[in-house]
Structure 1
Amino acid sequence: MPEWLVERGIGETRALLVDGDQVLTAKLHWPGELRAGDLAFATLISKHAGARRGTARLEDGRDVLVDRLPPEATEGVRLSVRIARAPIAERGRLKLAQARCIVVGSAPTEEFKTTDEPRSRDIFTLGDNVRRLPPGLWEDVWSAASSGSVEFPSGEILISTTPAMTLVDIDGDGSAKELSLAAIPAIAQALSWFDLGGSIGIDFPTITDRAGRKAVDETLGRALFEWPHERTAMNGFGFVQLVARLEGPSLLHRFATSRVGMCARMALRRAEFVEGTGPIVLLAVHPALKAKLKSEWIEELARRTGKQVRIEVDPGLALEAAQAQIVAS
């Protein structure tokens, strides 16, 4: 049976749904981030007269867009809200978190918090905690998300994020129909591996005959049967649009807007699990990564490894290519 495994790393928590040695789904959370399902107390700071939507400020100072406001909710009133979508950074802007008003004038009760249905499905709480995810699995997901590509026998898919939607392009050999059919398993894999949601466009090669387009549509439907979504039929230019629930930043969004942060956390993971004998963990990183490594992260790395930590800078290393080793001095 597939099972969720949760690795609580330095600066991030990683989760994989695995079936044997196969990754089905991946998720990532950074400490302090809002998550879909979180309950919070907020103050309504702006709302147009008669509107059901407005902006509220959480107790920690973060603003959220809130809907389902009752008519009696006026600026300055206290609200209990449930986060529906975490904030998402995009190039040049931050999309505020979205929330729904639960109660006006009071905080969520402890009984409500413990029986809240969205939080009861939280895999970061319900998954099996492990010291380390099975070797190679998180690395495979991380590398694919870093490159924004997934290979299949006759080609690869390339995935990129834009403010409007996530786009999937297909490149490879074979006829338009053959290439499209061959790419579908990689597309299904990417959707789950990268935790994608929102509006997603797939640009298949142009298939001229209607029967060929129908065959691709049906195969895509079977591949995505268990992935909740809505989609359009393929048009004459090979374009298919998917719409799925968006609860927070995908791995692709994180790499697009926080690549240095993603690479810094992976560098710490490599250092945490490096093998060898000696009193010192030596971590060589690109200069940009050293500036991103927080002192508390380095202290936690020393605590987890039981060794001193030394950071060295190497401008010749790529952001993604941090190197860790155990040294004697």
Structure 2
Amino acid sequence: MAEWLHEAGIGEERAILVERGEIIAARVDWGEMLRPGFIGPAQVIVKHKGARRGIARFADGGEALVDGLDPAVTEGATVLLRITRAAIAEKGRTKLPQARAAAADAAPSPAPSLLEDLRAGPLPVRSVPVTDRTFDEAGWHELLEQAQGGEIAFAGGSLLVSPTPAMTLIDIDGTLPPPMLARAAVPAIAAALARLDIGGSIGIDFPTLADRRDRLAVDAALAEALAGWKGERTAMNGFGFVQLVARLERPSLVARFARHPAGAALRTLLRQAERVPDPGVLLLTAAPALRRAVPAEWEAELVRRTGRCVRWHEDAGLALDGGFAQAIAA
């Protein structure tokens, strides 16, 4: 039976759904306050005339797009809102979180943690310490490489997953004849949706298939592969394009890592530091930009968790994701 495994790292919760030793789904939470399930008061700063939509600002200064406002609500009023979708970072801008008016009997409350959210679901959940090797054994590093690079190999070709302002695009490339390449890509696409936590609008650019029978065969294969997936899809058009639409609550792993590479690299480095087995002072070697990005409270948490002194060495020749941790003599 599939089981969720959960780790609570510094600045990050992560979880993988494992079945028969392989990762079939993954979730990452960086602890943003305005994420699905958060309920809190906010001031309406924009109310669109003749509509129930607007923009509201919370006490911490964060803003959200609001739908479902009472027609009697005016600009300046304070209303209780529930966040339904987290902020989605895009190239050059960030889409604001989305919110709706909370139920009349609702009370302010923080969003559930990733662990709480998983435990509310139907599958078993097991928390493991960061020093455990279960994530690695299931293929976490391979998944991380796919999320950071957006490239997923399959027999005969590869997928390139690209987050864009309009949708997540999946391009297919390979050396097989187009009908064979399209069908070979289907299982990889279905797996990637859950493994990379992809939702919202998704465009799949299959090879152009001139024969309608080939297009119907891919449609049938895709329908079978997506059985149980909660979303809608179009049939393949004459140019090989298929669109999927699913509920969007948070950024995919690809979008998160692509838009926040320093944040992703820093969390990975701190996780490595927690797992250094040798005794001694922890020495973290990183690019100067990464060192500057370390919140003081995260470094203090690393000291608390490991019981060690922490030193840093800045190496301008390292890429953001090239940092490493080791133990040295005091």
TM-score (norm 1): 0.91
Contact 2:6-2:115 within 8 A present in 1 as well: no
Q: Which residue of 2 aligns with 1:102?
A: 102
The residue that corresponds to 1:237 in the other structure is 239
- 3-state SS in 1 of match to 2:322: coil
1:130 is the counterpart of 2:128: yes
Whether the 8 Å contact between 1:79 and 1:103 is mirrored in structure 2 is: no
C-alpha distance in structure 2 between counterparts of 1:77 and 1:17, whole Å: 43
Q: Deviations over 1:96-127 (max 9, x none)?
A: 111111257xx8338xx69x99x998227774
| Structure 1 contact 286–316 (Cα < 8 Å) conserved | yes
- When residues 223 and 282 of structure 1 are mapped into structure 2, their CA distance, relative to the original with a 3 A threshold, is same
| Cα 1:32/1:255, change in 2 over 3 Å | closer
DSSP 3-state at the match of 1:315: coil
Q: CA deviation at 1:272?
A: 1.0
Change (3 A) 1:125 1:316: farther
In 2, distance between residues paired with 1:293 and 1:123? 29
The aligned counterpart of 2:282 is 281
Q: Which secondary structure does the structure 2 equivalent of 1:249 belong to?
A: coil
Cα distance in 1 between the residues matched to 2:78 and 2:324:
50
Identify unmatched segments of 5+ residues in structure 2: none
Matched, 1:304 2:305: yes
After superposition, the C-alpha distances for 1:65-117 in whole angstroms (9 at most, x for unaligned) are 1111122222222212111111111111121111111257xx8338xx69x99
Aligned counterpart, 2:31: 31
Q: Match for 1:260 among 247, 259, 262?
A: 262
Alignment CA distance shift 1:159-1:120 (3 Å):
closer
Q: Gaps (5+ residues) in structure 1? A: none
Deviation at 1:288, TM superposition (A): 1.8
The residue type equivalent to 2:304 in the other structure is R
Aligned to 1:93: 93
SS in 2 for 1:234: coil
C-alpha contact (below 8 Å) 1:56/1:66 kept by paired residues:
yes
How far apart are the structure 2 equivalents of 1:197 and 1:24?
A: 15
Find 2:184's aligned residue among 182, 185, 192: 182
Report the counterpart of residue 40 of structure 2 in structure 1: 40
Q: Matched residues in 1 for 2:51 and 2:116: separation?
A: 31
Q: Assess, with a 3 A threshold, how the Cα gap between structure 1 residues 249 and 196 changes in structure 2: closer, same or farther.
A: same
Compared with structure 1, are the counterparts of its residues 172 and 120 closer, same or farther at alpha carbon in structure 2 (3 Å cutoff)? closer
Question: 1:64·1:96 contact (CA, 8 Å) conserved in 2?
Answer: yes
Q: For 1:302, give the aligned amino acid.
A: V
Aligned counterparts, 1:34-183, within 5 A: 34-103=34-103, 108-109=106-107, 122-123=117-118, 127-132=125-130, 134-136=134-136, 137-183=139-185
Q: Tell me, what secondary structure is at the counterpart of 2:267?
A: helix
Q: Decide whether aligned partners of structure 1 residues 274 and 135 sit closer, same or farther in structure 2, where only a CA change above 3 A counts.
A: farther
Inter-partner Cα distance in structure 2 for 1:93 and 1:240: 27
| SS of structure 1 residue aligned to 2:321 | coil
Aligned position for 1:317: 318
Give the residue type in structure 1 aligned to 2:282.
Answer: V
The CA deviation at 1:175 is 1.0
CA distance in 1, matches of 2:215, 2:62: 46
The residue aligned with 2:8 is 8
1:168-215 deviation per Cα after TM superposition (whole angstroms, max 9, x unaligned): 111112111111111112111221122111111111111111111111
- Matched residue count: 323
AA at the equivalent of 1:17: L
1:138-164 per-residue CA deviation (whole Å, 9 max, x = no partner) reads 322211101111111212111111111
TM-aligned CA deviation for residue 15 of structure 1: 1.3
8 Å CA contact 1:15–1:124 kept in 2: the answer is no
**Amino acid corresponding to residue 93 of structure 1 in structure 2:** R
Counterpart Cα distance in 2 of 1:295 and 1:71: 45
After TM superposition, the score normalised by the length of structure 2 is 0.91
Deviation at 1:247, TM superposition (A): 0.6
Q: CA deviation at 1:13?
A: 0.8
Q: Extract structure 1 runs of 4+ deviating beyond 6 A.
A: none
